[in-house]
Structure 1
Amino acid sequence: MTRRQRGWRIPAALVALSAVPLAAGTARLVELAGGPRLIPSDPRFTASPLPVIVHIVGAAVYALLGAVQFVPALRRRHPRWHRVAGRAVVAAGAAVAGSALWLTLFFPPEPGSGPLLFALRLVFGPAMVAGLVLGMTSIRRGDVPAHRAWMARTYAIALGAGTQAFTEGIGGALLGHSALVLDASRGAAWVLNLAVAEWAIRRTSPDRPRRARRARRARRVPAGLVVADRHSRGTGGNDGRDRRAAHHRREGLAADAGQWTRHPWPPVHSR
């Protein structure tokens, strides 16, 4: 597999994860347009279809176009396209979050759900809007790592519907089909997505190689301790005892690698 092909693995996985909600949304649009009923109908949506249409179309654009934004080669070779597509992604994300809040506040509750899901939607909806705003402000001031981090977190929230297809099935199989289980299973999907996003952000952080170099340096035995060990070998009758003491010091200090930067050896006495 070439490097270019490896760059498409994450976007392909994201599109695959969003396949279930995209298919359900497409079936809902067909029903609202007067076509055949492919999924169970919901009278809440047929009574006021506009927010539902905005939500489904915005989610489709955000899921598909947003996944392509994670391809490194496209960002490097086509920066203008990345900026134009990014503005469209932000607009679609705002439509998704705004319509989701509208559906939560002004539509009747979903059958089978409880107050926990209502509260979770009031948390993650504004969180998605805040992530979009922070991502845009970060790139306007030239902070590319912060921009990528906030856009990844926002995408993770939006992709919660895809993960919920799995967490709802697992929660229902293990704990039953009560309202609390349904709400907790959907909330677990958002938390899981954000946890994976944070792991990916920290894994690809520009400071990660620097932290690795610091950890390698911290594990090294300082030169001063080696000199002290060599010096103890020429101290006459105390040769064995001093050598053992230096060996114990070396083992004790090596067990706490973080101490090298705070307590150098040999110690420096204040005057």
Structure 2
Amino acid sequence: MTERLLAPPPATVSPRPRRGAGRVAWLVMALGSLAIVAFAAVPYFTASLPQLAGEEVGLASHYAGQPAFVQVALYAHIVGAAVALMLGPLQFWRGLRERRPRVHRWTGRVYLSGVAIGGLAGLVIAPFGAAGLVGLFGFGALGVLWLVTAWRAYRSIRRRDVAAHQSWMIRNYALTYAAVTLRLWLPFLLVVQIPFGAFEFDAAFANAYAVVPFLCWLPNLVVAEWLIRRRGLPSYRLTPAGLSPRT
């Protein structure tokens, strides 16, 4: 099987979603991103890691005892991801893109810079994460795909292939949004364990964290590909080697 990037012909392009529904979805996406930056990223810059560990803030207790280069990578990852989360929704704001193209381009450059910093730093901290081998492979794969999709988005727009650029940016922000969906999946995975025997928080959290390194981003990519096809943008399909793909 080979993977090919396809652009459906005009006759197969699905109509765009209603503008009102799109605006609501965009607002929910933007508010979710800002909320995670405010409640999950900002606290790391209000005190030192040992202080935050004592207050049980995020993963501070795990990283407080890590080597200095891991702590530096952690902060770089937080900064890069926070920048990407905040600027990502602006890349999908049609009004900004059409009326202020220069602002759109500059925010896009800063966004992709944030992804580059956050992705590379994420690969550094992945082997030291609290989720062990599952976290290494789950978050490591996320970091690699985050960087690859960002590079493909940049390369596409440099070639002036706007449709491919839009597809890659949708995929890339779906991966950026893993920072939000991770924090939605965790409480859900904790709650669903309550009916099964005696509930012990630490054990339940460990169970949830054994799944979430993959669960936080794989469904996002599925939704992203659905959106790409719904909008008639170039999408990935698996076709037999040597055969012309069906469109």
TM-score w.r.t. length of structure 2:
0.72
Counterpart CA distance in 1 for 2:48 and 2:212 is 28
Cα distance in 1 for partners of 2:28, 2:215 equals: 20
- Partners of 2:156 and 2:165 within 8 A in 1: yes
Conservation of the 8 A alpha-carbon contact between 2:126 and 2:135: no
Change (3 A) 1:114 1:89: same
AA of the residue aligned to 2:93:
V
2:39 is the counterpart of 1:23 = yes
CA 33–115 in structure 1, closer or farther in 2 if over 3 Å, else same: closer
| Structure 1 letter corresponding to 2:42 | T
Partner of 1:164: 182
CA deviations over 1:147-200 (Å, ceiling 9, x no partner): 011111111111112111121122222247264542213421211211221121
Percent identical across equivalent pairs?
28
1:139 equivalenced with 2:168 (yes/no):
no
| Native 8 Å contact 1:21 1:161 kept in 2 | no
Tell me the SS of whatever aligns to 1:81.
Answer: helix
Secondary structure of residue in 2 paired with 1:31 = coil
> 2:204 is matched with which residue?
177
More helix by share: 1
Pairing of 1:170-209 with structure 2 (within 5 A): 170-175=188-193, 177=204, 179-205=206-232
AA partner of residue 48 (structure 2): L
* Structure 1 position 135, deviation (Å): 0.5
CA radius of gyration, larger in: 1
Specify every segment of 5 or more residues in structure 1 that has no aligned partner in the other structure, as ranges: 208-271
Q: 1:170 to 1:5 in 2, by over 3 A?
A: closer
Residues in 1 aligned to 2:21 and 2:99: alpha-carbon distance in whole angstroms: 16
The amino acid of 2:83's aligned partner reads: V
Residue 125 (structure 1) shift: 0.7
Partner Cα distance (1:34, 1:44) in 2: 9
- Cα distance in structure 2, aligned partners of 1:206 and 1:25: 33
Retained in 2: the 8 A contact 1:132–1:150? yes
Equivalent residue, structure 2, for 1:54: 76
Letter in 1 for 2:43: A
1:13 is matched with which residue? 28
Task: Give unmatched runs, 5+ long, in structure 2.
Answer: 1-17, 194-202, 235-247
Counterpart pick for 1:42 among 58, 61, 74: 61
Distance 1:140 1:35, change over 3 A: same
- The count of residues paired between Structure 1 and Structure 2 equals 202
Distance 1:147 1:57, change over 3 A: same
What CA RMSD, in Å, does the superposition of the two structures yield over aligned residues? Answer: 2.8
CA distance in 2, matches of 1:115, 1:46: 19
Change (3 A) 1:39 1:12: farther
Match of 1:126 among 141, 144, 164: 144
Distance 2:45 2:23 in 1: 29
Q: Distance in 1 between matches of 2:96 and 2:22?
A: 9
The one of the two structures with greater contact order (alpha-carbon pairs below 8 A, sep at least 6) is: 2
TM-score by length of 1: 0.66
Q: Residues 206 and 121 (structure 1 numbering): CA distance in 2 closer, same or farther, change over 3 Å? A: closer
Cα 1:178/1:66, change in 2 over 3 Å: closer
2:118 is equivalent to residue 96 of structure 1: yes
Out of 59, 78, 101, the residue aligned to residue 79 of structure 1 is 101
Q: 1:147 to 1:66 in 2, by over 3 A?
A: same
Q: Does 1:32 align with 2:48?
A: yes
User: In structure 1, how many angstroms separate the alpha carbons of the residues matched to 2:134 and 2:65?
Assistant: 25
Is the 8 Å Cα contact of residues 37 and 85 (structure 2) preserved in structure 1?
no
Aligned CA distance change for structure 1 residues 73 and 46 (closer, same or farther; 3 Å): farther
